[in-house]
Amino acid sequence: MVVNYSGRVFYMPGEDLFYKMSGSGNDFVAFDRLGRGSGFALPDPTAIRALCRRREGVGADGVLVLIDADDPAIDYQLVYFNADGSRAGLCGNASLCGVRLALELGRGAANEVVFLTDAGMARGRLRGGTPEIDLPAPTESSPDSSWLWDAVGGLEDGDRRLGFVRVGVPHLVILCASADDVDLERRGPPLRRHPSLVDGANVNFVSPWPDGSWRMRTFERGVEAETLACGTGSVATALMLTAWGEAADDEYGTAALPAAASTPGTGRRTGVEVRTSSGRLHRVELRHEGGGIILPSLAGEGRIVYRGELVEPA
């Protein structure tokens, strides 16, 4: 049950062990609630905000909780909360971290896991020590959303394309000359909160990098600020670059695609390498199925930084 310390709702006595994790610069507080059935409560929004508050709490972009799934064929369910306390359908980097943690805790078989998110089923594995996840097919793709330029006062120097796609959560992708030169604090919020977007959106500015990879910066919904990385944003970026004819088949930048993942995929494959603001790389593989269906995979860091215990909540 959720309890109250000094008048502030926080977490549960006896349930205060946590993992601090990093996913390419996205940092998370992770809780293991596997093997416990339904005999516990998920943290409420006040607790989430307190945990994620930097300088006063543990500090994080979000909180992930691993719980048992109802279906015994599923290794676990991943429940994810943004730093503002809202529950999100999917977080790519949290999913990568969840795969790493679940395998460390002994879930899965042959170094692979099947897990459930609020956006649907997914698979994960370690490949060469790096977590990789296969995500559900994207929805609501609109490669030309140029009418949204009005939200930020029109195009600025270097702006080229603007598209929308839902990768479990909604994303806007803006192709520009230099993502590093974008005033993200000014340009991100009006797009993120545009009234035409029912759920808002993460806002990703992307530009080409000299080695054939892509530089991306993200104003993230639920954090309401720039984050060092966004896994689903990298997938959304790869999808839009492919739709715009900017991404080549069968390569990541200057590197060839690795051998196909153990999950099925046929036809063309497109590889996109995304440079995050942490300096770490996301590798996105798009497997082109029949009927225009694209199945994305995401590989990137999922690291356990430390294990801690909540002693004196804020």
Catalytic residues: 91, 230
Contact 102, 87 (CB under 8 A): no
CA atoms within 13 A on the CB side of 112: 10
Q: For residues 214 and 206, is the Cβ–Cβ distance under 8 A? A: yes
**169 neighbors 80 (Cβ within 8 angstroms):** no
Contact in structure between 97 and 131 (CB atoms under 8 Å):
yes
Compute the C-alpha angle 27/286/106, nearest 5°: 50
Q: What is the 3-state secondary structure (H, E, C) of the chain?
A: CCCEECCEECCCCCCCEEEEEEECCEEEEEEEECCCCCCCCCCCHHHHHHHHCCCCCCCCCEEEEEECCCCCCCCEEEEEEECCCCEECCCHHHHHHHHHHHHHCCCCECCEEEEEECCEEEEEEEECCEEEEECCCCEEEECCCHHHHHHHCCCCCCCCEEEEEEECEEEEEEECCCHHHCCHHHHHHHHHCCCCCCCCCEEEEEEECCCCCEEEEEEECCCCEEECCCHHHHHHHHHHHHHCCCCCECEECCEECCCCCCCCCCCCEEEEEEECCCCCEEEEEEEECHHHCEEEEEECCCEEEEEEECCCCC
